[in-house]
Structures are given as C-alpha cells and as structure tokens.
Amino acid sequence: MPLLGLGVWLNATPIPACKAAFEAGYRHIDCAIAYGNEVDVGTAVRESGLDRKDLFITSKASPRQGKFPTYELAIKAIDDSLTRLEFDYLDLFLLHEASPTLVETWRALIKARDDGRVKSIGVSNFTPEHLEEIKKAGLEAPSVNQIHLHPWYQERNIVDYCNQHSIVIQAYSPLAHARHLDDVDVQAFAKKYKKDAGQILIRYSLQKGGVKHLKEIKAPGLETPNVNQIELDPWCQQKPIVEYQKKNSIVIEAYSPFTVGEYLDDAYLIALAKKVRLTNLVLLSRLFTLNQKIPFEYNKDAT
C-alpha cells in the first residue's frame, strides 16, 4: 500500500486531479460510494495508460447510504462499486463508519475478500469500542482504520489501540484544512528542515502511528514531498490536542461539517457521540446533514 495517496472527497470532477496525481507519481486513489465519483475515478485510471496492477484503489461505503443494513446488501454494495469503477477487484474496501450491524457487514467484507473481489478490507472512523466488537465476535481485525488525524485532532486512544493490534492507521485531512500552516511549531520545524508547512504536517501523520506499519495519507497537494528525513517525535508526543468547549451549545454555520474542527472536542458533543456509539466527527456530520446549509444549534440537552 503506497504511503501517499489522493483522496477525491468533494471533487465532482476528479478525472483531471487523478491524472495529475498519476503524473506526479501517486499510485493510490481513495474514493467512496458517498463521494459519488467512482465512475470518474475508473475513467481516470483507464485513461492514464497505467497498468491496473500498478495502482492501489480504495473505496468505501456507509450505512447512511443504506448500503449496509444486511450482509446481502453489503455484498451488493461492493459489487456495485466494482461495476461503477469497471474493475475486477479493489485493492482496499472500507466500512465508512460503524453501524449497529457492523459485525454482520464485516463478515460480508471478509467474504468478498476471500472471493477475490477485494484484496484487503478495513474500516474508517472506528473507535476502539467498535473494533472490540469485531474482536469479541471472533473475527479477524481490520487491516486498516482510516481516521481524521493531524496535530490538532490526534485521536490518541484510537491510534494507540490500532498500534497495539497491528491495524494500519490511514490519516485523512492531514493538512488540517490548511488552518494551521502558520502555527509557530509548524513554522519552526519548516525552517529547521527547509520544508514547507504542508510537508511538516504530512511527516507528522506518517510518524504518528508508529514505524511498524505502512501508512497512507490523502493529501490535496499533488507534489510528492520529500519528508523522510524529518523527525518530529518530541512534537508528536507533546503537542496537545486543541480543545474547544462551550458551556451551553455549539453553533454550526459552515457549509461542511469537516471544516469546523474546533467543535470536535466539545464536551457535550463527545458525550453524545459516546452515547450513540459514533466518533464525534461522524456525529457532527450527521447532525449537519439534518440542517444542510442552515446554521443550527446543538444543545447540551440533546445528551
């Protein structure tokens, strides 16, 4: 699995981006049923002139798309992805988020892997509690857990669990939506190693999960960064999670839930996420979809 890849979330026309990524040396494209662009990703692969076996393509599906309520529909979701991509197999297929039927749907992914429709299987946005459900069911662990990971959203409990159980960490949004490129620590490391801020953040995510596992980062930049000589271990361990808390409510006004990272550590959101057994990022996304484009207030009484 390549260390670096291109994610095509929120990309309605990914063909030019995928082709540019291939020309820059990228060989991993990460898509999903929810992104609505699997057809274009498949087209970009065929038009690239590259051999399919030299590429690593990931897709994923989520219960909120109605694709994983049963074992049978989980299998169908994989087959539908292959049809849209016009591929014989996928290199990696993920459960996009946990659901009450996660054990049943995980069995379906194992079956698809054993049948050769996917080469490897994993999950995304899973907490240790979700991963423990799979373990308690006597099933093999996911090969990958794809999570939101950068210095201001560290998911330490998930990273620690995955490292202890040999589950590869994949980091999405490693550049933190470019909000912290002027951070004093980031700039200090950039100056020390003569790199730009984005390269420093990519290196952080490469190191965060431990050197025993390959890691994959979907970075929006198309340059293949030279980051191997950067050592950030002290910062990885000491940089605190940025905390944002309000006593009564969270007011969300952004179009995308994934651009409001300052809300992710809110105590009330964390409490509600724990109660409904979702990560706070997924919960925030679900709350947002109830009020698309309309500001709304999440009140502590919701817990």
Q: Give 10-residue mean pLDDT values along the chain (303 residues).
A: 83 88 89 92 96 95 65 91 97 90 94 97 93 96 90 82 91 81 85 85 70 34 48 48 31 35 61 69 56 36 40
Q: Which residues are catalytic?
A: 35
Bridge partners (DSSP) listed for residue 168: 144
**What is each CA distance from 34 to 100, 103, 121, 167, 208, in whole angstroms?**
19, 21, 17, 24, 27
User: Using alpha carbons only, what angle is made at residue 284 by residues 102 and 134, rounded to the nearest 5 degrees?
Assistant: 15
CA dist 50 to 25, 27, 42, 57, 83, Å? 11, 9, 12, 13, 20
Q: What is the pLDDT of residue 258?
A: 38
The answer to whether the CB of 242 falls within 8 A of the CB of 265 is yes
| Contacting residues for 5 by C-beta, under 8 A, at least 6 apart | 26, 27, 28, 29, 30, 56, 58, 216, 217, 218
Q: Which residues contact 166 (CB under 8 A, 6 or more apart)?
A: 141, 212, 213
What confidence score (pLDDT) does residue 290 get?
43
pTM of the model: 0.72
Beta-carbon neighbour count of residue 118 at 10 Å? Answer: 25
Is 62 in contact with 96 (CB distance < 8 Å)? yes
Token readout for 119 is 């080469």
3-class SS of residue 172: strand
